[in-house]
Structure 1
Amino acid sequence: MGLVEWKRIGEQGNIAEIVLNRPEARNAFTTEMAEQLLEICEIIAKSDVRAVLITSSNEKSFCSGADLKERNNMTETEWKSQHKLFQQMFNSIADMKQPVIAVVDGYALAGGFEIVLNCDMIVAAETATFGLPEVTRGIMPGGGGTRLLSKRINIHRAKEWVCTGKMVSAEEANRAGLLNILTKSNELRNKAVQLAGKIANNAPLAVQNCKTSVDELFGMTKEEARKIEIEYYNRCLNTEDRLEGVLAFVEKRTPEFIGK
């Protein structure tokens, strides 16, 4: 079995579930694990999958970040080289055309929390714990932590979390606005699959353009945002799915989207 695996799930097989599978090390990612995750993300991004879940085979830990044991004896050059791979891994998650949902129970720390932040949505169990403790190790988040956390929660709260390295409970994370869904551990996967299913039932090209539009418009000036938004809107117009969606509405039936 690989350190990272994926499979198709859902009634139509159009949801991908990526499973972090190094439970004995709380899914701390090594060079090999990062390579596997990067490869899987690239495969899924080119597929007809409509929504993606990232889950863990260890209910006590989603991911504890980079494996510091592997990094301990690295030279500075080797460290930087490995981190370039890690950056590619994080970017491959964020850059997938499909919406990606992090499904979190247990610890999501350091680079593990950054995997979560590079996803589009977060479903978490009440027993989840989040944290960016890099400052306690003489470093800072290097996979988007400072850049992405402040897009999810208020900037003063983001500064507190990253500058103190505090552990954040799921309840506190939810109050801060980080989560899409907070639920019980035994309902976690079902809630995430339900959310992914709602996304997968919609026109895939429209969903993909919505995701990209939201990402690109954040932080733009009003004039820039208006221009980009209408560009993505127009991409949806000349599609078979748009015609099918309107026709299905008129005929009072469920649309059958094909991604064209």
Structure 2
Amino acid sequence: MTHVLAARSWETLRVEEAEPGLLVVTLNRPERANAMNTPLGEELIALFGALEAAPHLCHAVILTGAGERAFCAGADLAERNGMDDEAFARQHYMFERMMRALLACPVPLIAAVNGAAFAGGLELMLSCDFAYAVDTARFAFTEVTRGIMPGGGGTQHLPRSIGARRAKEIIFTGEPFSAAEALDWGIVNRLCPPGEVLGLALATARRIAGNAPIAIRQAKKAIDHGLQADLRTGMQLEIEAYYPLIPTADRREGIAAFNEKRPPRFTGR
């Protein structure tokens, strides 16, 4: 079904169904280090809005950047040059909606970080469920060096990932950090040589796609919502996500496949 999205004409994105049910979304502005301009933000809102409305469209999404130089360098400051306050605020609100659209993605969203992820580009990565990166990647929140601060979730995602003290150092200094540090701190899950990150992400997405799709979506919902609550409330949210799986055909198929010693054939019902 993802061919519906892949067939659409996109100005700043490349959208491809790499395999049935696996969607690869590429930020496609390599001449600008895949920096976020207004059309790119609007297209990400449209794409992820469609996925939120129809979660059956795919099993997993991979977000990456074109070329080997950058995943995303953040907002395109050339576009912002000369913007008055009203236009700047209007564009930033659009970027806020873009980040919320990524967070609302109902299926697993994997970042395949092919190069530098700075400022809003790092926020894009942190809005994904998890990330793989090339071992030459660099990361930074550079906003304070430009008179602003992270405004796409960076001050919230980063402390939750690595702790407040380290996050404050990164955000207050604006200094870059390495892929090895990102791995050590748990910001990315795995590193690989340049040119291999998309294949690594696809292998994981393929494994995800072999599991029951409704169960994956419910598990993601339980994790995301539960992290915003205390433990007891989170456990209750988990149970509320669990019980709708009991009457599904996939739940019955999973048990039957185990007892019949064969791979399950999940249908998403």
TM-score, scaled to structure 1:
0.96
Structure 2 counterpart of 1:157, from 144, 154, 166: 166
In structure 2, the residue matched to 1:96 is: 105
- Residue in 1 aligned with 2:155? 146
- Report the Cα offset of residue 184 of structure 1: 1.1
2:45 matched residue in structure 1: 38
* Aligned with 2:33 (options 26, 34, 39): 26
**Is 1:108 aligned with 2:117?**
yes
Alpha-carbon offset, residue 252 of structure 1: 0.8
CA distance in structure 2 between the aligned counterparts of 1:254 and 1:81, rounded to whole angstroms = 51
| Matches for 1:182-197 after TM superposition, within 5 Å | 182-197=191-206
Distance 1:57 1:223 in 2: 43
2:173 maps to 1:134: no
Q: CA deviation at 1:185?
A: 1.2
CA distance in 1, matches of 2:162, 2:195: 27
Measured in 2, the distance between the counterparts of 1:65 and 1:127 equals: 18
CA RMSD, Structure 1 to Structure 2 (Å): 1.2
Q: Distance in 2 between matches of 1:49 and 1:7?
A: 12
Check conservation: 2:33, 2:71, Cα contact below 8 A.
Answer: yes
Unaligned runs of 5+ residues in structure 1 are none
Which residue of 2 is the match for residue 7 of structure 1? Answer: 16
In the alignment, is the contact (CA less than 8 A) between 1:123 and 1:188 conserved in 2? yes
- Which blocks of at least 5 consecutive residues in structure 2 are unaligned? 1-9
Q: What corresponds to 1:79 in structure 2?
A: 88
Query: In percent, how many aligned pairs have the same letter?
Result: 39
2:24 paired residue number: 17
User: CA separation in 2, counterparts of 1:105 and 1:9?
Assistant: 17
Could you tell me which of 202, 217, 233 is aligned with 2:226? 217
Report the alpha carbon displacement of residue 153 of structure 1 after superposing the two structures with TM: 1.4
Q: Which residue of 2 aligns with 1:208?
A: 217
Aligned residue type for 1:42 = G
C-alpha distance in structure 2 between counterparts of 1:190 and 1:137, whole Å: 35
The number of equivalent residue pairs is 258
8 Å Cα contact 2:114-2:195 kept in structure 1: no
Q: What's the secondary structure of 1:52's corresponding residue? A: strand
> Contact between 1:6 and 1:40, CA under 8 Å: does it hold in 2?
no
> SS at the partner of 1:44?
helix
Q: CA deviation at 1:43?
A: 2.5
SS in structure 2 at match of 1:159: helix
Please give the secondary structure, in 2, of the residue aligned with 1:178.
Answer: coil
What TM-score does the superposition give when structure 2 sets the normalisation length? 0.93
Question: The residue matched to 1:97 in structure 2 has which SS?
Answer: coil
